[in-house]
Amino acid sequence: MKTMPNWQQTLTVEISDCDATGRWKPSAMLIRMQEAAECHAAELGFPRQRLLEAGMCWVIYRQRMTLRRVPEFGEALRLCTWPAPVEGVLFPRHYRFETPAGAPLAEATSSWVLIDIHTRRPLRPTALPGSIPTDPEAERPLPGMLRLPADVQALETRRVRWSELDVNGHMNNARYADWLCDALDARRLRTRGLSAWQINYVSEALPDEEIALTAADLGDRFLLGGARAQDGRSVFQAEAVFGPAG
């Protein structure tokens, strides 16, 4: 069977995927993207079990979403995803959300890293047992660095809970989006929503670790940082961009 670099799925925004406004929440989008990436990787010959048997797995390094319109409860849409050529140690993967008629809703870019499941250290792409077909013409710029200003505000310290973990034993990438939304002003979320957001994963957040959150509210942009309370080591940075007023 011929494997294609582009994978598509038709889905519906369920009520459990939505926030208090009835809009598709960022963490629910990330879960769908993660599942699509897993399904496509398996179709391309790299199911999770095969990688585990080789002592490796993929983890997300950075991802950014840009929204033209946020889908709402009950809406049908199509999710497309494809891998791009390797850049250094990064495996890029891109996504597109569109209506059944093909009208664009949102686009996302992400970069993944292959790690050793025992040492948790990054592996070179050549360690992958095979090659991934890619479409160089469908490449997009990868998410860049996020820098919080020096005068950040201390928010709170959150503990990584059991329900936030995934099969890799660390906090799932989608849960960071929940932490980001929890730090935002609810009024602005209701009236403006988000037009873009990005999460950069710096180090693993492990069970029962306490993460100290700091933030910078820059008006239309909101930056959130998380560091281990025990040693100050950075865990993640995130950015939310609010949509237009009205």
| 168 shares its domain with 222 | yes
Per the CB < 8 A criterion, the answer to whether 246 and 213 are in contact is no
Q: Are residues 85 and 162 in the same domain?
A: no
Q: Is 80 found in the same domain as 163? A: no
Are 128 and 188 members of one domain?
no
Statement to judge: residues 129 and 168 lie in one domain:
no
Q: Residue 184 belongs to what domain range?
A: 153-242
Amino acid at 95: Y
- Domain membership of residue 101 (yes or no) is yes
Q: Which of 7-43 are b and which e, b meaning 16 or more Cβ less than 10 Å from the residue's Cβ?
A: beeebebeeebbbeeebbbbbbbbbbbbebbeebbee
The last residue of a domain, from among 82, 106, 138: 138
In this predicted structure, what is the pLDDT of residue 246? 52
Pick the last residue of a domain from 103, 138, 173. Answer: 138
Q: Residue 63: which of 102, 39, 94 has the closest Cα?
A: 94
Question: 132 and 18 share a domain?
Answer: yes
Given a cut of 50, whether residue 1 has pLDDT beyond it is: no
3-state helix, strand, coil in the chain (%, to 5): 20, 40, 40
What is the rounded CA–CA span in Å between residue 181 and residue 153? Answer: 16
Q: What is the pTM of this model?
A: 0.94
Q: How many domains does the chain have?
A: 2
CA distances in angstroms from 151 to 26, 210, 214, listed in the order given? 27, 22, 10
Q: What is the mean pLDDT of the chain?
A: 94
The pLDDT tens digits of the residues spanning 77-98 come to: 999 999 999 999 999 999 999 9
Tell whether 55 is covered by a domain: yes
Contact (CB, 8 A) for 95 and 33: yes
pLDDT at 236 over 90: yes
